[in-house]
Structure 1
Amino acid sequence: MATVENDPTSSEGGAAAFSVVHSPIWSEYQLRKYPFQTRPIPRLSHTDPRAEMLMNNEEPLVLTDTNLVYPALKWDVPYLQENIGSGDFSVYIAENHKFLYYDEKKMANFENFSPKSRRIDMKFSDFVEKMEKTHEEGGDERVYLQQTLNDTVGRKIVVDFLGFNWNWINKQQSKRNWGQLTSNLLLIGMEGNVTPAHYDEQQNFFAQIKGYKRCILFPPDQFECLYPFPVHHPCDRQSQVDFENPDYKRFPNFKNVMGYETVVGPGDVLYIPMYWWHHIESLLSGGVTITVNFWYKGAPTPKRIENPLRAHQKVAIMRNIEKMLGEALGDPHEVLELDRRVEYYDSIDGRSSRVSVCDA
């Protein structure tokens, strides 16, 4: 049973207002080792006033009792195989356990870009067969199903979906003036699969259904520590840093990164605020994991922007500037060259054109 205690250590934009003490049914040996420190993400009842405070402040937390996906807690691979329907599913096949997202439409901008995974469409039964075969062979290759739930699913899945706690989640959307629900993404992964650190431009309720996932989050003000790929790169919004083997010569500020983490299990719902970085891994030797994301567009931009700008607003502005430069120059590579020149002159002046807590 989780308990929440006061934590005297906190930081701007961080989720360190509370510490967490609980007895997990997973082991520390199932977690990968990384060279940075983390603080716990709070675990709270959805009725706890502190949960409301954190969400209003756009800080992450785990909600333990929303019953958001209660009808889906019976979902396992055999149940889904029997009931999910005969549609096609997007399956990623990676050469190792890391599934670095890439935008296929942006690959034309970078002729030498070679993705570390490939996406193929297959029937659910074929995916199950491929996953089982891959597991039995015991090599480095991994598979990961990532499919938006749509009208091709079977009747029982539809009934389960309609039984989700829409009353609760619709209230969260309304109270915070979020935009529409854009998608529900079904994720089915092998044990040990890793989705490297990235951020999304949408609000996310990350609902765990089967198995356990470790989630490491970083606030938007850690932007300069995590070295995102350029906006026009296929891996836009992804960190360039390999957490398991960081190159500190290329990415020196990564030494200063500070994360917040939790392990979510069946029934848990992790709120991932927009622009918060998140690094997700299915636990080692933990079996298959199943998750459903609820992605919402953020609240409309206020007509009057007040200073000082919040960290996520700075990220959004930097993204827009980079996009506009690419359109004006007509070549995304020209943006990269311009950025390198700015960094060069900043180094001569002994200052940085970008402000970050990582430089403190």
Structure 2
Amino acid sequence: MPSTILSKPPAPPRPAPVLPPAASTPITREWVRWVAEQVMRGCTPVSMLEVMVNAGIDDVVASVIIEGMVSNPICVAGEQQVQLLRKLESSMANLQQLWELNPDYQTIEKRADVSVAEFASRYVEGCRPLVLTGHTADWPAMRRWSPQDLKQRFGHLDIEIQAERHANPRYEQDKLSHRRHVRVADFVDQVVSGGASNDYYLTANNEALRQPGFAPLLDDIGTLPPGCDRSQLSARSSFWFGPAGTVTSLHHDKLMLFHTQVVGRKRWRLISPLQTPRLYNTNAVFSPIDLDAPDYDRYPLLRGVKILEVVIEPGETIYLPLGWWHQVRALDVSLSFSYSNIGLPNNNVFDYFDPVVRQV
């Protein structure tokens, strides 16, 4: 992966009320930080100088800042750590190339039946996504669940949803500030009559299935995928409901899970965890990239990343392997059921270091 791509320079500072005619752009903390970042990334002094001069900084001043940063012992130590990071990134990129040698790499298999042994070896240990198509035939949910059924059976109960998401592109990261409690009947009416929207959504964070009033939903779940521990179903499952147009933004989970589509369709876009260095992951498990409208100028490392895509139909279940990035869009009014009760090491086993890059 290239290490000499200059990152975006800081925004110009607000001008002072009065500036002498010959004044140049002042050196701010943001510019000093930018120079330090470029030095650690391995960018050349010439390339940095060009950017700074084009931004209006005096060339002599810029040269002094750059030369001082190149010899700064803190930056030297940072460069050494970046070199170690580059080795890790190159190892991941090489493994990704091996995965992509498989001509079927970008095809997500749809299979009606998989044994426990094959599921464990081929998909869990092999870290491959899979769509199961056969195990929900005996689910009462497939015959019963609908918005109107939800309203009839649970309309009097309160539920936690996410609301007012349109106004905040970070609605997933800031999900706590978007929590609202509404009556199920009112929310069903809003979803049915409101048309396509990403402004409101009953997501996995609602914890509905831990409430006694929603326990009948669990009675509607029949045969589980291979290797699932049914005794853990109520504690490790979630219910989803929303209109067409809801989007779960690009992120990865910290465990493996199944997601069964009961009503409506969802389009899943997935990216290998080995591609993480190219997804600008600077905030916990989230990427700022929108796969529906990728901005390659802002995120140039995204170019060439292989994106897998599959539409999950009613009755189908997607298996999400460990660490796979995914962005999900509902194509219809959607009722879904997700669960992580896989009878293998899963919950509270895998350890991720989540970056939170401090903005100065």
The answer on 1:102 being equivalent to 2:173 is yes
Corresponding residue number in structure 2 for 1:252: 300
After TM superposition, the structure 1 = structure 2 runs for residues 1-360 of structure 1, keeping only pairs within 5 Å, are 12-13=98-99, 18=104, 39-47=106-114, 51-52=119-120, 53-67=122-136, 70-73=139-142, 74-84=144-154, 86-93=156-163, 94-95=165-166, 100-103=171-174, 118-135=178-195, 142-146=199-203, 147-148=206-207, 149-154=209-214, 156-161=216-221, 164-166=222-224, 168-169=225-226, 171-172=227-228, 182-230=235-283, 236-283=284-331, 287-296=332-341, 299=345, 316=351, 318-319=353-354, 322=355, 333=358
Residue type of the partner of 1:120? R
Over 3 Å counting, the alpha-carbon distance change for 1:60 and 1:68 in structure 2 is: farther
Residue type of the partner of 1:276? W
Corresponding residue number in structure 1 for 2:44: none
Corresponding residue number in structure 2 for 1:309: none
SS at match of 1:208: strand
Percent of pairs with identical residues: 22
SS at match of 1:198: strand
Mapped to 2, the partners of 1:15 and 1:153 lie a distance apart of 50
**Structure with greater strand share of residues:** 1
Mapped to 1, the partners of 2:229 and 2:297 lie a distance apart of 43
Post-superposition shift, 1:172? Answer: 4.0
Whether the 8 Å CA contact 1:45–1:51 is kept in 2: the answer is no
SS at match of 1:121: strand
Post-superposition shift, 1:261? Answer: 1.6
The higher-RCO structure (CA 8 Å, 6+ apart) is 1
Query: Normalising to structure 1: TM-score of the pair?
Result: 0.60
Residue type of the partner of 2:339? F
Over 3 Å counting, the alpha-carbon distance change for 1:104 and 1:214 in structure 2 is: closer
Over 3 Å counting, the alpha-carbon distance change for 1:256 and 1:154 in structure 2 is: closer
Identify unmatched segments of 5+ residues in structure 2.
1-95
Residue type of the partner of 1:82? Q
Mapped to 2, the partners of 1:288 and 1:45 lie a distance apart of 25
Over 3 Å counting, the alpha-carbon distance change for 1:244 and 1:266 in structure 2 is: closer
Whether the 8 Å CA contact 2:137–2:315 is kept in 1: the answer is yes
Corresponding residue number in structure 1 for 2:38: none
SS at match of 1:82: helix
Mapped to 2, the partners of 1:68 and 1:229 lie a distance apart of 42
Query: Normalising to structure 2: TM-score of the pair?
Result: 0.60
Mapped to 1, the partners of 2:253 and 2:215 lie a distance apart of 31
Mapped to 1, the partners of 2:301 and 2:194 lie a distance apart of 37
Whether the 8 Å CA contact 2:268–2:329 is kept in 1: the answer is yes
Which of the two has higher C-alpha Rg?
2
Post-superposition shift, 1:87? Answer: 3.0
SS at match of 1:83: helix
Identify unmatched segments of 5+ residues in structure 1.
1-9, 20-38, 106-114, 231-235, 304-312, 324-331, 338-360
Whether the 8 Å CA contact 2:148–2:188 is kept in 1: the answer is no
> Which digits, 9 at most, give the CA deviation of each residue in 1:229-278, with x for residues without a partner?
32xxxxx3111113344333431101121111211111111000121101
Whether the 8 Å CA contact 1:208–1:290 is kept in 2: the answer is yes
> Which digits, 9 at most, give the CA deviation of each residue in 1:22-50, with x for residues without a partner?
xxxxxxxxxxxxxxxxx221111223686
Name the Cα RMSD after superposition: 3.6
Whether the 8 Å CA contact 2:252–2:285 is kept in 1: the answer is yes
Pairs aligned (count): 255
> Which digits, 9 at most, give the CA deviation of each residue in 1:170-217, with x for residues without a partner?
x3459xxxx997531111121122212110001110111011111111
Whether the 8 Å CA contact 1:69–1:207 is kept in 2: the answer is no
Residue type of the partner of 1:130? Q
